[in-house]
Amino acid sequence: MSDFNDFGNPQVAALPRHLKQFIVSQHYEHYTPVDHAVWRYVMRQNYSYLKDVAYYPYIPGLQKAGLTIEKIPDLQDMNNALAKIGWGAVTVDGFIPPAAFMEYQAYRVLVIAADIRQLKHIEYTPAPDIIHESAGHAPIIADKDYHEYLSYFGSIGAKAMFSAQDFELYEAIRALSILKEMPDADMAEIKKAEELVAWHQDNMGEPSEMALLSRLHWWTVEYGLIGSLADPKIYGAGLLSSIGESASCMMEGVQKLPYTIDAVNYSYDITKTQPQLFVTPTFQNLIDVLEQFADTMSFRRGGAYGLQKAIDSKNTCTAVYSSGLQVSGTFIEFRADKNGEPVFIKTTGETALAVNNKQLKGHGKSYHQDGFSSPVGKLKGYEKPLEDFTADDLINAGMETGKEINLVFESGITVSGKVVEIAVQSNKIGLIKVEKCTVLGEKGRVLFDPSWGVYDMAVGEKITSVFCGAADKDAFLEIAYQSTTGTHHPEYDSKTIELHKLYQQVRNRRHIGGDMGFLGNVWMMLQKFHHDDWLCALEILELLDHEAAEPELAAEIRRFLEQKAAEEPEYKKLISDGLYLIKHPVEEKLVV
């Protein structure tokens, strides 16, 4: 990525290549005056309400994250501020795959959708937008216990097994969220997209580790409450960035449950308000529950359980031998002994070998392009695992470079041929290269034939871990799954551009001052050409009221807004809340 901008932020600069592919430029100049007004309206409402119901660091957290109420944040400003607490931020194009999202968190980088919701979706949008991502996620990052949880969650999520169904659901949700944000979306198309999401949600089969982990993420990072069941506070970004749901979630109709591992049994629908929410007493409890879940995952369990998950995934996965050798590829087979312990593994297609997440020289995808297979376990007649053999042990066993060997494993698998090389990493034998090699299964089945080339035998008594993705992602050049559905970027007609200019004129008066009587001209243009607008009218009224100017004009605009609220139910709460804030303005210190 030659034009990659790290904003001078160490966390962003440290991102690996496979994550940089999702980053897009923010293009700050594309935000319109209406976009800034939407940001300002939501932030003022949030501040007014959340100062009483948000977990305490939220308001100071705004400033620590480089955010203001007045304008959409610039990524450079955010990175300058976040760097002080060891975090960074980048902009992406809408929803990105869950595995990638998680891994960004592990690198302590916030992923922020560059777009902002439309005025008609000002209360809530199913699509990720800059209000949700920055005003929701960023302020709470200032809390040390919470950001430790967030990055730890990311490191565990990056290893979670995912399925083909997960990708299909992700694609369906992304398509629906994009459709709902389009100005002239066809209702029939939206209904069809909603039905597709519902179908995928109902036909996921057994949920994958990623699906279950996503539930824990949803009920904590996105929709979490903290404190007691009787008096919880909001810390979840989905609630902190929704002026509708941040209020409705506190009502009695929304059930409050203690946050435990049981939360993995509750699926969620991103298009609807939540029927129940989970309350954690502390952020430490979030880590405790995460630990409990992580203990059930393939990367900790390894063995036959993990290998079967890898086969079911049909994606690039990594199996780790007890010697430390990591085999990354698409797993298609493993064999187990009577105790269920793996004795043989096999991949198909491009495979790579690594140690400590660094690819071994000469063992990349091009070398192992047709797959990889190897025994697992101990040699027959030896108490000590082969990986722990000393130089003397090797000599005594007749395993030396240039010598013929005939290894018999406890499983019955035999490996015979001439030793070319014995590779030792961190005092463990991890790989033995054998030429003119024959590998036979327990019933004489040919597992490797000398005509197939040189045989690389992995060494290790057990498979200690299995996780999704390659061990050395950058060397593997792993292009994570990317959507073919692009987000919608509006093109504005001349009438809309004129409306933008009216919003800008109001904004200029608020920032620079000047003759408030001029706002009468803006009001006249709104009435003549943009009669459906309410937000610009509200901003004019706010200015006039604040300056105690043009009382007749102010009274006329107030009557218009009150009438609109009474006649058009969809605007009632938005206008009423806006009028309330004119009487009860937010603290000026947070505006600039």
Distance CA 349, CA 327 (A): 12
Both tokens of residue 21? Answer: 């592919």
Write the DSSP assignment of 461-522 as a string of letters: S-EEEEEES-SSHHHHT------SPPPP-----HHHHHHHHHHHHHHHHHHH---GGGHHHH
Q: How many residues does the chain have?
A: 592
66, with CB counted inside 10 A (0-12, 13-18, 19+), is buried
Instruction: Say if residue 488 carries a ligand binding annotation.
Output: no
Residue 411 DSSP class? T
Write the DSSP assignment of 413-441 as a string of letters: -EEEEEEEEEEEETTEEEEEEEEEEEEE-
Residue 370 DSSP class? T
Distance CA 419, CA 35 (A): 68
Distance CA 71, CA 63 (A): 13
- Helix and strand numbers, DSSP H then E, in the chain: 23, 17
Both tokens of residue 188? Answer: 């029939």
Residue type, 536: C
Distance CA 364, CA 22 (A): 24
Q: Could you tell me if 438 and 454 are in contact, meaning their C-beta atoms sit under 8 angstroms apart? A: no
* 275 CB neighbour count, 10 Å cutoff: 11
Both tokens of residue 370? Answer: 């047709």
97, with CB counted inside 10 A (0-12, 13-18, 19+), is buried
The gap from C-alpha 371 to its chain's centroid, in whole angstroms, comes to 31
The gap from C-alpha 228 to its chain's centroid, in whole angstroms, comes to 28
Residue of 340, 358, 346, 419 lying closest to 386 (CA atoms): 419
Instruction: Say if residue 70 carries a ligand binding annotation.
Output: no
**Residue 103 DSSP SS3:** helix
Q: Could you tell me if 283 and 149 are in contact, meaning their C-beta atoms sit under 8 angstroms apart? A: yes
Residue of 334, 323, 304, 239 lying closest to 278 (CA atoms): 239
Instruction: Say if residue 137 carries a ligand binding annotation.
Output: yes
Distance CA 224, CA 377 (A): 45
Q: Could you tell me if 94 and 112 are in contact, meaning their C-beta atoms sit under 8 angstroms apart? A: no
List the binding residues. 132, 137, 222
Binding-site entries for Fe cation: 132, 137, 222
